[in-house]
Amino acid sequence: MITFLICLALLVAAYFGYGAYLDRICKIDKGAAVPSATLYDGVDYIPMPRWRTFLIQLLNIAGIGPIFGAVMGACFGPVVFLWITFGGIFVGAMHDYISGVILLRNDGLSLPEIVGRYLGGGALQLMRAISLVLLVLVGVVFMRSPASILSGMVAVIPYWGWIAIILVYYFVATMLPIDKLIGKIYPLFGAALIFMSVGLAVTLFKGDYTIPNLTFETLRNYQPNPSAMPIIPTLFITVACGAISGFHATQSPLMARCMNSEGEARMVFYGSMITESIIALIWAAIGMAFFGGADGLVANLAEHGNEAAWAVGHISKTTLGAVGGMIALFGVVSAAVTSGDTAFRSARLIVADVLKVEQRSIWKRFMIAAPLFAIGIVLLFVDFDIIWRYFAWTNQAMSVVTLWVIVTYLKQHKRNVWVALPPAVIMTYIIISFVFISNQFIGMSNHTLAYILAAVVTLAISFGMWRKVVSSAKTE
């Protein structure tokens, strides 16, 4: 348990320590004008209290990633604690915070438009395509996962019935002004998510569970086929939302349009990511502790088709009792649903920014939203495993692009680029090495040559990006 407690303490301390340092790096100006005031439209640009923007941002970015991803990540063993903690502090929360500040200072525009401003027209078009693909995939994934859980909780409504209910809710939430539905029901969803996390944390401390520590003996890969699922890079792709996720930066414009001052940025952006890392840390810990270690978790998942949803449901109902388990599962469903609805909303805003279509008119919102949902409905009939595998890689690829935007921004403004440059290079290596190693792409497994080729490609990309960064800084 010592490793878990140290990691938990580091995450909490990081908010007050490293988060405050990033405040100074970004030169936060509490008196600066913000989009909710300068561009108020009563639909997407609406000022809201800080506690509400924090909760909405947390629910927007969380999804099932810090829950399902953390459980699957725990199959690699206690090393998952390191990635969640240090990835969360220095990579993911930094990524969310500085990209959030950039968005806040650029009228809350959608992420692709910001990428275009800092990395050029080619990157803009690429990011528009990647963002729309990712957001629609997120919407589909976060329809199917909660529908699967809800059909088990309320059997009277079948799986496809829940799909239909969630689909209707997503469409309504995408169309209405942000304060009419999302702003009102998210506190309830947030309460369920917090209950789940606190309840499981208390269970870990008070129950008869042993959380494995990270030692030289346990520093190994517990996957049944380590050569096909090496820790580097697979762990870094598997545990995304609990450490770093490109999806987060697509959600940040929603709250960048609702904040009252730059002084709220650390709580809303850095704080929500740190909170998500804590949720992931708890689920990784209980995933191993509940089944008697990483080996037991791997074995039990294998008996149930490697379905993280089964493990989450079984753990919740067993540790928290019937009622507590239902509330915990409601928290899981809430996390998924509240990311799915804003995924489609973000996709609508991206298309609106591209086409320069104002969104005050509900008819214009409908004309953009309807085709996006039509695509989502078609994808509901595609094999879930295929969608999930490519969603995970696309998600991290987007984080790489955002990290290079952050490097460019910091260089242009003569700030400390070293807070973002190493994470950008590391994550570039992660997604490139995954291409060489994973059977989804080239499939070289963990052969030394795969890592060498990935390093060569990463160096070439990083060198090219750094030249662009320096060139961009000179023109400012």
Q: Confirm whether 442 is domain-assigned.
A: no
Residue 313 binned pLDDT confidence (cut-offs 50, 70, 90): confident
Q: Confirm whether 266 is domain-assigned.
A: yes
Considering only CA atoms, which of 294, 331, 345 is closest in space to residue 110? 345
* Complete DSSP assignment for 18-74: HHHHHHHHHT--TTS--HHHHS--SSS-----HHHHHHHHHHHHHTTIIIIIHHHHG
According to DSSP, residue 440 is labeled: T
* Backbone φ and ψ of 40, nearest 5°: -50, 130
Is residue 385 predicted with pLDDT exceeding 70?
Answer: no
CA angle 396, 401, 403 (to 5 degrees): 90
Q: Confirm whether 359 is domain-assigned.
A: yes
Peptide bond into 233 cis (omega under 30): yes
Q: How far apart are CA 244 and CA 237, in angstroms?
A: 9
DSSP H/E element including 4: helix 2-16
Q: What is the pLDDT of the chain when averaged over all its residues?
A: 91
Q: What percent of the chain has pLDDT over 70?
A: 98
Q: Confirm whether 202 is domain-assigned.
A: yes
Q: What is the pLDDT of residues 367-380, one digit of tens each?
A: 999 999 999 999 88
Q: What is the pLDDT of residues 193-251, one digit of tens each?
A: 777 888 888 888 888 899 999 999 999 999 999 988 999 999 999 998 899 999 999 88
88-115 as b/e: b if 16+ CB within 10 A = bbbbbbbbbbbbbbbbbbbbbbbbbbbb
Q: Confirm whether 458 is domain-assigned.
A: no
> Would you give the end-to-end CA distance of the chain in angstroms?
50
- Position 329 scores a pLDDT of 78
Exposed/middle/buried for residue 301 (C-beta within 10 Å: 0-12, 13-18, 19+): buried
Q: How far apart are CA 149 and CA 243, in angstroms?
A: 24
Q: How far apart are CA 446 and CA 463, in angstroms?
A: 25
Say which residue the tokens 């003569």 belong to: 414
Say which residue the tokens 């539905």 belong to: 181
According to DSSP, residue 213 is labeled: P
- Position 236 scores a pLDDT of 96
Quote the pTM value. 0.91
Residue 273 CB partners (closer than 8 Å, separation 6+): 61, 88, 92, 93, 95, 96, 97, 248
Q: 97 or 320, which is more confident?
A: 97
Q: Confirm whether 38 is domain-assigned.
A: yes
Is residue 384 predicted with pLDDT exceeding 70?
Answer: no
Q: What is the CATH number of the domain that holds 250?
A: 1.20.1740.10
Q: Confirm whether 416 is domain-assigned.
A: no
Domain of residue 340 covers 2-406
Please tell me the total count of domains within the chain.
1
- Position 333 scores a pLDDT of 83
Considering only CA atoms, which of 56, 250, 235, 48 is closest in space to residue 139? 250
SS3 of 445, please? Answer: coil
Q: 185 or 278, which is more confident?
A: 278
Q: Confirm whether 398 is domain-assigned.
A: yes
Q: How far apart are CA 2 and CA 91, in angstroms?
A: 23
